[in-house]
A and B are shown apart, each in its own frame.
Chain A
Amino acid sequence: MIKCENIIKIYQTGDTEVEVLKNVSFEIKKGEFVAIIGPSGSGKSTLMHILGALDRPTSGSYFLNGKNMLELSDDELAEIRSQRIGFVFQSFNLLSRTTVLRNVMLPLIYDKKVAKEQRQQKAQKVLLASGLEKDRWQHLSNQLSGGQMQRVAIARALVNDPDLILADEPTGNLDSKTGDIVLNTFQKLNREQGHTIILITHERYVAEHADRVIEIKDGVIFADRQTENLLKNK
């Protein structure tokens, strides 16, 4: 489903060029749960931005569902984000002073294909899947705990039924207990509903929750392996 070939990303700051990604190639199949792990400055965030259609590589090619993302305009990339990709961020990024339900419905207002009448129903469906208690749905987002907020964010990422969920350090702002709950939610989404999930992290413990780990360092992949998880669950 995802095919990256020879991706190079160079940032130019003044006269100095920084090569953040140096010839990265890999494939991810539909239904995989992959963690991309690397220390800060390794290029994993840049890779996530490229995978999430927020940025374009300097050279190389990125195919999502057979579509070459390099040939698309800004608006077409926005459409891809709207219909094919769901983001989960480290700092949740929920709209404050806005209800949970409204936060979850937010991606749908940018998706022409979803009729207004369907929004509520879709949002309720994913909120159930995210495991957030029903009595919280009408709460304002700033009245929730960190773990609850991240589950709202996961629901928001799922609401447009994306091909790919990108989670950028989803447990970074959570204590280890709620972090585990969130990671288990991802595992459940992957195993029970077949969602393709890419988890970006710098923590080995978090990465081990995935079925496959791609390790990245100084802009190159130096390891790509299956975890024990996969063996254990299959």
Chain B
Amino acid sequence: MLFSDLIFETFSSLSANKSRSFLTILGIVIGIGSVIAMVAIGQGSAKNITSNIQSLGTNLLVVTPGSQKTVGTMVKGGFGSATTLTLEDSDAIKEKVNYIQEVAPTVSSRKQVTNTKGDNNNISVYGITASYQAVKSILVDLGSFITDQHVTRVSKVAVIGPTTRDDLFGEGVDPTGQKIRISNLEFTIIGVTKSKGGTGLSNSDDIVYIPISTAQQYILGSKSVSNINVQVTQENLMTQTQQEITDLLLIRHNISDPTGADFTIVNQADIMSAMSSVTGTLTLLLASIAGISLLVGGIGIMNMMLTTVTERTREIGLRKSLGAKNKDINYQFLAESVALTFIGGIIGIFIGWLAAWLISKFGGATTVVSVSSIFYAFGVSAAIGIIFGYYPARRAAKLNPIEALRFE
């Protein structure tokens, strides 16, 4: 039997019973479609979280003041909270620890920020150094970023985020050169950052950056820093560097017992892997729920094929008497079930893709339809055709031609 004959026989027998073929295909369409859509939601949320974490900077270690006993709660150091870290610690890390790209100490607090018209907003104010830009991969939209000179001269200059600019000056306005007041001190705006699209606490668009020295001197009145962002040269050196910083700071702070450390180092990779394991589990959960409907679709195929084999017993007997070998009959019925899942798979991929698109458009969730999930779904649907078609096809092939011909 030629392959082209197989295709012809398959499609003529499938089209002989259109409504039944359609319903069986529908089962597979729903199965494959929901797998594609669910995996798209899972992968979309994974991508969302990953890009959120990556927007914080790459290869980043964050040293925060506060006891290591509070690991996991991520103490938010602001003015007035734990003040165990200083600029000297930051300098020491830069000088003594290997494999360090950049060190960016920051101080931060929420402050009333007013424009010249008197509109006032409660905004995060970050005291930073020039290296902060590189560490956090901040891009400047208008004007320029804070430089080392600004820090050494304790300049009263500010760089604002796009949301802050929109709130204080209006959308699209170039505010460089204008003044804002933070805690009744006047600052000149020298730049606006590009939007990073962060959300919630990590929103880096609604923010005011000022030189760290200015913040410490005029706003904080203290030499302590809120945290030290350390960028490591290579990802695989992060753990080692984390250890070196811990050792260095323990010595500097005269602490002999590591469990009594007055600082915490959070490794960005740790957060990332924790988050990706969460999203991985989520994706798996969604996919397995959808997988159940795929399984039901597969059972539908088997049901239909078994009915077909019984209905076409005489035809099978005839084909055998005309010289069809067992394998010819086997292939014919297997081809029918594979064709059903194949067609169902293609439509299902399309429907799933459409569903994912609609969800991201109207449902507010990010969805990602990856090429691998399409190939995977395709492979699975073909496999279902073979697995659930195998038993009916074998039953057809094993029919005794004499009894099959007598069958009424």
Contact = CB atoms under 8 A, between A and B. Distances in A.
Interface of A: 49, 52, 54-55, 74-75, 78-79, 81-83, 87, 89, 93, 95, 97-98, 106-107, 109-111, 116, 156, 160
B326 A116 contact: no
Given A52-B321, A110-B319, A75 B1 contact: no
A49 B317 CA distance: 12
A75 B16 contact: no
B328 interface: yes
B320 A93 contact: no
Contacts of A49: 402
A123 to B, nearest CB: 13
A54 B326 contact: no
A111 B401 CA distance: 18
A59 to B, nearest CB: 19
A99 to B, nearest CB: 10
A81 B322 contact: yes
Contact of B323 (A82, A89, A97, A116): A82
B53 to A, nearest CB: 60
Interface string B309-344: 000001101111111111110000000000000000
16 contacts: A52-B321, A54-B320, A54-B401, A74-B326, A81-B322, A81-B323, A87-B321, A93-B405, A98-B12, A106-B319, A107-B323, A109-B5, A109-B9, A110-B1, A110-B322, A116-B2
A7 to B, nearest CB: 16
B4 interface: yes
A81 B321 contact: yes
Interface of B: 1-2, 4-5, 9, 12, 16, 314-315, 317-328, 401-402, 405
B405 A111 contact: no
A109 B2 contact: yes
A110 B323 contact: yes
A78 B405 contact: no
B2 to A, nearest CB: 7
Given A98-B12, A109-B2, A110-B1, A93 B314 contact: yes
Contacts of B323: 78-79, 81-83, 107, 110-111, 160
A95 B5 CA distance: 15
A97 B11 CA distance: 13
Contacts of A74: 325-326
A82 to B, nearest CB: 2
B322 A54 contact: no
B5 A78 contact: no
Contact of B1 (A81, A87, A109): A109
A87 B12 contact: no
Contacts of B1: 109-110
A97 to B, nearest CB: 5
B338 to A, nearest CB: 19
Contacts of A79: 323, 325
A87 B315 CA distance: 14
Given A109-B2, A110-B1, A89 B324 contact: no
B380 to A, nearest CB: 31
Contacts of B12: 97-98
A77 to B, nearest CB: 9
B335 to A, nearest CB: 13
A49 B320 CA distance: 12
A156 B322 CA distance: 9
A90 to B, nearest CB: 10
A109 B328 CA distance: 10
A72 to B, nearest CB: 12
Contacts of A93: 314, 317-318, 405
Contacts of A83: 323
B14 to A, nearest CB: 12
Q: Give the one of A75, A78, A97, A98 with max B CB within 10 A.
A: A78
Q: Give the one of B12, B327, B402 with max A CB within 10 A.
A: B402
A110 B2 contact: no
Contacts of B2: 109, 116
Contacts of B326: 74-75, 78
A89 B407 CA distance: 13
The 3 A-B residue pairs whose C-beta atoms are closest, nearest first, are A82-B323, A110-B323, A107-B322
Contacts of B320: 54, 78, 81
Nearest to B325: A78
